[in-house]
């Protein structure tokens, strides 16, 4: 399988090149040339399969031509060392809990998979991974890559804009993980990373790659848990009704992987892209115009993205057909106040504790579900990751899981950085 660039100006790439380079030469995002449909027997059997078996089938359809199948099987199994259970919240709304991994957010799936695949393709020279984070990516990537031989990770995060618990998860590790605290917003971090990839001299010297959801090895594996959600819906006996999946979205890697799943035959009827106040996608649905702008800070901070990188993939997948996109995906956008209200109401009515990101997904289902539909929202992070905020909103004490508490014992180490590329470049050249 070859990978093409969404900008159409770069040569086709092998899987190895797409994974090792991250971004194409023309700054486009790599897309697989074909999306293989999974055979009917797979869907006939899916309800009796394990999560790992489901994921291995999906992974083979994407990567099976280009990687040894036994190695791929090992990568899938060691990535998915935790479950993604589907939990009933109301009669017609279920939560797909994606926070049972080591850093308690869905990004563990993609980050762990990518670390293992990069390890598989690694050559003699050290690879340097650059990752911009608004919170969860940094922790998932740092932990996914910790102590992987031959790989060094630089995590760029906006100063004062990630929660203290999130910050501990990538600034206390040390070893092959360097945290860089940027005086700016998330979009500045993302711009620094993109500029570094475009700098030829820097690339020659450092073998740079990206672990943001622009990397195919990070975003495609996220399709695994949508198939697993469907398998669980079959077991719970409601998969015959029309399934609507609501995805709390920032950079749109998560939603985009689900759209690939649908092209592979996954019977999800439609999607909702749930946003916070950063509503460029919501506006695109209303107007047909995509107008990126600076992100604003919200209480669902991992979704504070003003220029979602995977928009390029969504537009490419639908051949820039705005109507087709609107038929499949509807939007929602919520203020901090609406998010907090939703969290309080959900706790009062159902006993379920939402985190601020999942709350956007839940509310969108409450508002938009039709009588013949069943909704699944993605609970993208554990509420304890945002403990100060969640406790204050709900007036309760969210218990901190042990694996999260362990991070908070470490010593914070990070390098302060301006938002100017020249400063970041000089820092990297000195490494």
Ligand X SMILES: *Cc1c(COP(=O)(O)O)cnc(C)c1O
Q: Would you say 27 and 7 are in contact if contact means Cβ atoms under 8 Å apart?
A: yes
- Token look-up 């203290």 returns 164
Q: What three-state secondary structure class fits 137?
A: helix
Binding-site string for ligand X from residue 198 to residue 237, where x marks contact by CB under 6 A and - marks none: ---------------x------------------------
Q: Which two tokens stand for residue 410?
A: 């470490």
Binding of ligand X at residue 313 (CB under 6 A)?
Answer: no
Which residue's beta carbon is nearest to the bound ligand X?
Answer: 136
Beta-bridge partners for 417: 182
User: Rounded to an integer, what distance in angstroms lies between the CA atom of residue 125 and that of residue 58?
Assistant: 31
Is 107 an annotated catalytic residue?
yes
Nearer to ligand X, 266 or 274 (CB): 274
Tell me how far apart the alpha carbons of residues 371 and 196 are, in angstroms, rounded to a whole number.
Answer: 50
Examine residue 383 and tell whether it contacts ligand X (CB under 6 A).
no
If one asks whether residue 246 binds ligand X (CB under 6 A), the answer comes out as: no
Which among 189, 214, 210, 191 has a CA at the least distance from the CA of 135?
Answer: 189
Stretch that binds ligand X, among 71-79, 236-244, 250-258, 421-429 (CB under 6 A): 250-258
- Residue 158 near ligand X by CB under 6 A: no
CA distance 280 to 291: 6
Q: Return the number of the residue (128 or 301) whose C-beta is nearest ligand X.
A: 301
Would you count residue 357 as binding ligand X (CB under 6 A)?
yes
Considering the candidates 21, 107, 194, 387, report the single residue annotated as catalytic. Answer: 107
Residue 411 CB contacts under 8 Å (≥ 6 apart), including other chains: 172
By CB neighbour count within 10 A (0-12 exposed, 13-18 middle, 19+ buried), where does 241 fall? middle
Token pair 């003699």 in the structure block, residue: 124
Place of tokens 């078996």: 53
Residue of the chain from 252, 281, 362, 424 that contacts ligand X (CB under 6 A): 252
Beta bridge partners of 244: 270, 375
Q: Rounded to an integer, what is the distance from CA 68 to the centroid of its chain?
A: 26
Q: Which of 127, 182, 302, 390 binds ligand X (CB under 6 A)?
A: 302
Given 144, 158, 184, 253, the residue binding ligand X (CB under 6 A): 253
Query: Which residue in the set 57, 92, 251, 295 belongs to the binding site for ligand X (CB under 6 A)?
Result: 251
Closest CA to 170 of 151, 157, 159, 183: 157
With CB under 6 A, what is the number of residues at the site for ligand X?
A: 16
Smallest distance from ligand X to CB 237, Å: 29
Asked if 141 and 249 touch (Cβ cutoff 8 Å), the reply is no
Confirm or reject binding of residue 144 to ligand X (CB under 6 A): no
Residues 87-106 touching ligand X, rule: CB under 6 A, are 105
Length of the chain: 431
Query: Would you count residue 380 as binding ligand X (CB under 6 A)?
Result: yes
Shortest spacing between CB 114 and ligand X, in angstroms: 14
Query: Among residues 248 and 306, whose Cβ is nearest to ligand X?
Result: 248
Closest to ligand X by CB, 46 or 376: 376
Please give the positions annotated as active site.
107
Q: Which residues bind ligand X (CB under 6 A)?
A: 105, 107, 136, 213, 248-254, 302-303, 357, 380-381
């Amino acid at each position: 399988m070859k990978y093409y660039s969404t900008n159409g100006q770069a040569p086709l790439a092998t899987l190895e090149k797409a994974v090792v380079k991250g971004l194409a030469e023309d700054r486009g995002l790599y897309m697989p040339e074909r999306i293989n449909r999974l055979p009917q027997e797979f869907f006939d059997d899916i309800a009796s399969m394990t999560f790992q078996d489901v994921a291995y089938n999906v992974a083979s359809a994407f990567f099976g031509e280009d990687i040894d199948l036994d190695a791929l099987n090992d990568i899938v199994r060691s990535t998915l060392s935790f479950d993604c259970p589907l939990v009933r919240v109301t009669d017609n709304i279920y939560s797909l809990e994606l926070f049972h991994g080591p850093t308690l957010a869905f990004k563990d799936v993609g980050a762990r998979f990518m670390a293992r695949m990069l390890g598989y393709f690694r050559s003699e020279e050290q690879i340097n991974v650059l990752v911009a984070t608004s919170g969860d990516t940094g922790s998932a990537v740092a932990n996914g890559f910790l102590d992987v031989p031959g790989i060094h990770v630089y995590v760029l995060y906006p100063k004062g804009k990630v929660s203290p618990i999130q910050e501990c998860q990538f600034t206390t590790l040390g070893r092959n993980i360097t945290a860089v605290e940027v005086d700016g917003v998330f979009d500045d971090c993302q711009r620094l990373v993109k500029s570094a990839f475009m700098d030829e001299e820097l690339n020659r010297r450092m073998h740079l790659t990206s672990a943001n959801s622009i990397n195919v090895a990070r975003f495609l594996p996220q399709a695994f848990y949508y198939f697993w959600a469907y398998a669980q819906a079959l077991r719970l006996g409601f998969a015959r009704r029309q399934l609507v999946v609501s995805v709390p979205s920032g950079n749109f890697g998560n939603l985009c992987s689900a759209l690939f799943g649908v092209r592979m035959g996954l019977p999800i009827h439609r999607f909702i892209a749930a946003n916070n106040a950063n509503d460029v996608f919501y506006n695109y649905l209303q107007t047909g115009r995509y107008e990126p702008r600076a992100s604003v800070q919200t209480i669902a901070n991992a979704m504070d993205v003003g220029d979602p990188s995977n928009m390029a993939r969504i537009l490419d997948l639908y051949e820039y057909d705005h109507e087709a996109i609107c038929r499949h995906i509807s939007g929602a956008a919520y203020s901090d106040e609406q998010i907090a209200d939703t969290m309080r109401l959900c706790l009062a009515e159902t006993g379920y504790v939402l985190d601020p990101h999942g709350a956007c997904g839940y509310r969108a289902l409450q508002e938009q579900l039709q009588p013949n539909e069943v909704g699944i929202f993605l609970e993208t992070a554990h509420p304890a990751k945002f403990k100060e905020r969640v406790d204050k909103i709900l007036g309760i004490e969210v218990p901190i899981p042990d694996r999260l508490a362990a991070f908070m014992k470490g010593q914070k180490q990070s390098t302060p950085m301006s938002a100017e590329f020249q400063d970041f470049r000089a820092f990297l050249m000195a490494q």
